[in-house]
Structure 1
């Protein structure tokens, strides 16, 4: 009795599958934009508004879908982009480092999204129920440990975006897309702490850039 044949994949098939995976990047960009359409009130200056905001269904869905699931979609896109570029003969060093840093940054950032999705609503509900400890609990949650995680994750995320974007820009036909990728993700992160209204704009720029990347790489040339 013969053993069942083991399915095999040709290099062309693998390349095609990975190329299609690059389409995850514009999906990720759209999710980033959706996650920034509203802004969280500052708990240091208006805890009541903050508590009301973080107890809405919109806040929870935004973090579960746009932020946490979005990070997973972004990782799929980054891995696919890196693999396609390296498989097409692009210089691998900067691409690999950029992909690794991007993935590490996204994974670290999901810790923040998880706290936001589950801890913040609980704190908000406690505050609105008249529990005096809610403000102190919020300060404890957003203490040095979480801040250090945030700084590390965002630094890795920016470094990965810059390296992967600039490496992509060296590929024929992807110069503008690669530069926009690096710049838009960097500004997106910085704007969160400076000019939040820029975040949806940068997400839109990222969407356009990654759509161009996916379209180019799915036409068979790089």
Structure 2
């Protein structure tokens, strides 16, 4: 009886995991939408910067696109780990999911610090309050937030690589999806630093990879031949 209950719980977990995979393309789509516009250079156009950070587009893109999106991505990564939990690549998948969660927490802190401070600073500047540029530099772009953003970016890249490798090694049909998962998120981090105009394009590529992963991964782990890769599979007779 206990064995049957355990099997039912496992099936429920796998159904939940398969559904949660679809949060990964949602995460990618939110990334693409939230990076369609960018704030003006605060050093050369603080007036334009102040106007931009007081818009609804800025607030919504940070709250929904960046913060909620990161949380959804973390849940999707957990779904990948659950589906791979009974394979020989469970350790890599679980590690990748854990790193994704840590990255999401730091991303929430990074973008939360921005969206909760920048609109007020912008409104104060537009109202004629002096010293807002210096306050902005000291708080929003101060060392604590910058270091948090750097750590979040490094964790995001590490999580993408570790989880992508686990997916790629699970089955031959998933190889390029694992590579694509790791590659597009890593590329997104790179262009975010140097070529921000390309962010929506790279995020769209990740979204395509994530859709294919959501379709293919549950099928591949359920294939009869996948049993040979399961960590709990009985040893074949010599």
TM-score scaled to structure 2, two decimals? 0.86
Give the secondary structure class of the aligned counterpart of 2:129. Answer: coil
| Deviation of 1:147 (Å) | 1.1
Runs of 4+ in 1 over 4 A off after TM superposition: none
1:76-133 CA-partner distances (Å, limit 9, x unpaired): 101111111123x141222222221111111101111112211010111011111112
Note if contact 1:103-1:157 (Cα within 8 Å) is conserved in structure 2: no
Alignment of 1:146-161 (within 5 A): 146-161=145-160
Query: What displacement does 1:138 show?
Result: 0.2
Which residue in 2 is equivalent to 1:107? Answer: 105
Larger Rg: 2
Indicate the residue corresponding to 2:207 in structure 1. 207
CA contact (8 A) 2:92 2:166 kept: yes
- Deviation, 1:9, is 4.0
Match of 1:13 in 2: 12
Tell me the residue number matched to 1:132: 130
Q: Cα distance, 1:72 vs. partner?
A: 1.3
Q: What is the distance in 2 between the residues matched to 1:109 and 1:59? A: 16
Residue 84 of structure 2 corresponds to which residue in structure 1? 85
Instruction: For 1:91 and 1:218, locate their aligned partners in 2 and report how far apart those are by CA, in whole Å.
Output: 15
Mean Cα deviation higher: 28-37 or 212-221: 212-221
> 1:167 offset after TM fit, Å?
1.6
Distance 1:27 1:174 in 2: 20
**Alignment partner, residue 3 of structure 1:** none
More helix by share: 2
- Deviation, 1:198, is 1.6
Partner of 2:195: helix, strand, or coil?
A: coil
Report what 1:143 is aligned to: 142
The runs of 5 or more residues in structure 1 that have no matched partner are 1-5
TM-score normalised over the length of structure 1: 0.91
Q: What is the RMSD of the two structures over their aligned residues, measured on CA atoms?
A: 1.6
SS in structure 2 of the partner of residue 42 of structure 1: coil
Separation in 2, partners of 1:130, 1:98: 48
In structure 2, how many angstroms separate the alpha carbons of the residues matched to 1:94 and 1:44?
43
- The offset of 1:191, in angstroms, is 0.7
- Distance in 2 of aligned mates of 1:94 and 1:12: 22
Change in Cα spacing, 1:94 to 1:10, as seen in structure 2 (3 Å) is closer
Task: Quickly say closer, same or farther: Cα 1:10–1:99, change in 2 above 3 A.
Answer: closer
Contact 2:77 2:96 in 1 (8 A): no
Q: Distance in 2 between the 1:90 and 1:81 partners?
A: 14
How many residues are matched?
215
What are the ranges of 5 or more consecutive residues in structure 2 without an aligned counterpart? 227-238
- Does the Cα contact within 8 Å between 1:36 and 1:200 map onto a contact in 2? yes
